[in-house]
């Protein structure tokens, strides 16, 4: 990509897309095309086709998706599979029809089998049953990977896929009904501190282990892959390190400065026992994450307390 290449970032208003735009701008890219969901509904094929025919982007980073945590995935599975299938099919096909030079599709580590061996290698895809609580979302994301693979196979399209681990960062979703675990913990501890509560309730046992990547590191990896990677295998993006949710809660508690107790609600699901990505392929492209977990949490908490997201 050249600094004046026309790059369409789909989903620029979200946590991931906004980080991608920040990274592109920091590298000197000046011709970035964006549309809000009100301006362009990616679920509607005719709108997507008209946009691509008019704008003719040279490069596409597909960060748009309907996302949520365990509760949202369990409650709205039809919405998760329909919206995500439509978004990726519309964008990927329109990119092909309008001769986009390169496209990056962003998936999720939930594509892998629930009981996959750890750390999870790219080749473990489609080798076992998925985690039930986010099966609809995972199937949609797997379909996006396969779309890129088959458009590459049949048409020679330079379409690549990246599978990030659990993400957190600025512009995250802090709604307790739909958020992921880390922003939910930040909000719970902050509100407990502000309101003088003696305890914070945490879902499950706290024993499952998760890997967390700061979203600006993900964005940097995405632009790096657009500039340097062209393989047909999807690429895991992560830190190569994981932590028990219970230990994560203690870190968030410390960063927030909450002094009460943590109570486990054992009636709530734990989800997948462990989910650590093997990032050997990514590191072979000479990229590695920069932001430590505690440094990232401090940055997000500072942002959270200084902006109206409550």
Q: Residues 92, 103: contact at Cβ < 8 Å?
A: yes
Q: In whole angstroms, what is the distance from residue 293 CA to residue 133 CA? A: 26
127 is in an annotated binding site: no
109 is in an annotated binding site: yes
Q: Residue 63: phi, psi to the nearest 5? A: -105, 0
Q: In whole angstroms, what is the distance from residue 286 CA to residue 282 CA? A: 7
Tokens of 189: 């501890």
270 is in an annotated binding site: yes
254 is in an annotated binding site: no
276 is in an annotated binding site: no
Residue whose C-alpha is closest to residue 40's, from 27, 50, 29, 28? 50
Q: Which residues are catalytic?
A: 137
Torsion angle of C-alpha atoms 146, 152, 153, 155, degrees rounded to 10 = 130
Contacts of residue 94, defined as CB under 8 A and 6 or more positions apart, other chains included, come to 48, 49, 51, 52
Q: In whole angstroms, what is the distance from residue 103 CA to residue 252 CA? A: 36
1 is in an annotated binding site: no
Cα–Cα distances (Å) from 197 to 174, 184, 205, 257, in that order, read 19, 16, 21, 13
Say how many C-beta atoms besides its own lie within 10 A of residue 174's C-beta: 18
12 is in an annotated binding site: yes
166 is in an annotated binding site: yes
268 is in an annotated binding site: no
66 is in an annotated binding site: no
Q: In whole angstroms, what is the distance from residue 31 CA to residue 28 CA? A: 9
Q: In whole angstroms, what is the distance from residue 297 CA to residue 256 CA? A: 9
207 is in an annotated binding site: no
107 is in an annotated binding site: yes
163 is in an annotated binding site: no
203 is in an annotated binding site: yes
| Residue list for the binding site | 11-17, 106-109, 141, 164-167, 180, 188, 203, 210, 270
| Residue list for the binding site for substrate | 188, 203, 210, 270
| Residue list for the binding site for NADP(+) | 11-17, 106-109, 141, 164-167, 180
């Amino acid at each position: 990509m050249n600094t004046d290449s026309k790059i369409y970032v789909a989903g620029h208003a979200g946590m991931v897309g906004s980080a991608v735009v920040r990274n592109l701008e920091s590298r000197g890219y000046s011709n970035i095309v964006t549309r809000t969901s009100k301006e362009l509904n990616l679920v509607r094929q005719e709108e997507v086709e008209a946009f691509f025919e008019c704008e003719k982007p040279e490069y596409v980073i597909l960060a748009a998706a309907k996302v949520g945590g365990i509760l949202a995935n369990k409650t709205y599975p039809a919405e998760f599979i329909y919206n995500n299938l439509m978004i990726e099919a519309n964008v990927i096909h329109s990119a092909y029809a309008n001769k986009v030079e390169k496209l990056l599709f962003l998936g999720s580590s939930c594509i892998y089998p629930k009981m996959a061996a750890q750390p999870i290698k790219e080749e473990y895809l489609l080798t076992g049953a998925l985690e039930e609580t986010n099966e609809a979302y995972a199937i949609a994301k797997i379909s996006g990977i396969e779309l890129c693979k088959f458009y590459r196979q049949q048409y020679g399209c330079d379409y690549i896929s990246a599978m990030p681990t659990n993400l957190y960062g600025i512009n995250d979703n802090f709604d307790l009904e739909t958020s992921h675990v880390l922003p939910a913990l930040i909000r719970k501890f902050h509100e407990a501190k502000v309101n003088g509560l003696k305890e914070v309730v945490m879902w499950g046992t706290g024993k499952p282990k998760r890997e967390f990547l700061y979203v600006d590191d993900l964005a940097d990896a995405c632009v790096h892959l657009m500039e340097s990677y062209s393989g047909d295998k999807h690429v895991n993006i992560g830190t190569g390190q994981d932590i028990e949710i219970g230990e994560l809660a203690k870190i968030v508690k410390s960063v927030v400065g909450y002094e009460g107790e943590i109570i486990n609600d054992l009636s709530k699901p734990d989800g997948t026992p462990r989910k650590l990505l093997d990032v050997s392929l990514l590191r072979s492209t000479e990229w590695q994450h920069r932001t430590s977990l505690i440094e990232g949490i401090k940055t997000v908490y500072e942002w959270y307390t200084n902006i109206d997201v409550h």
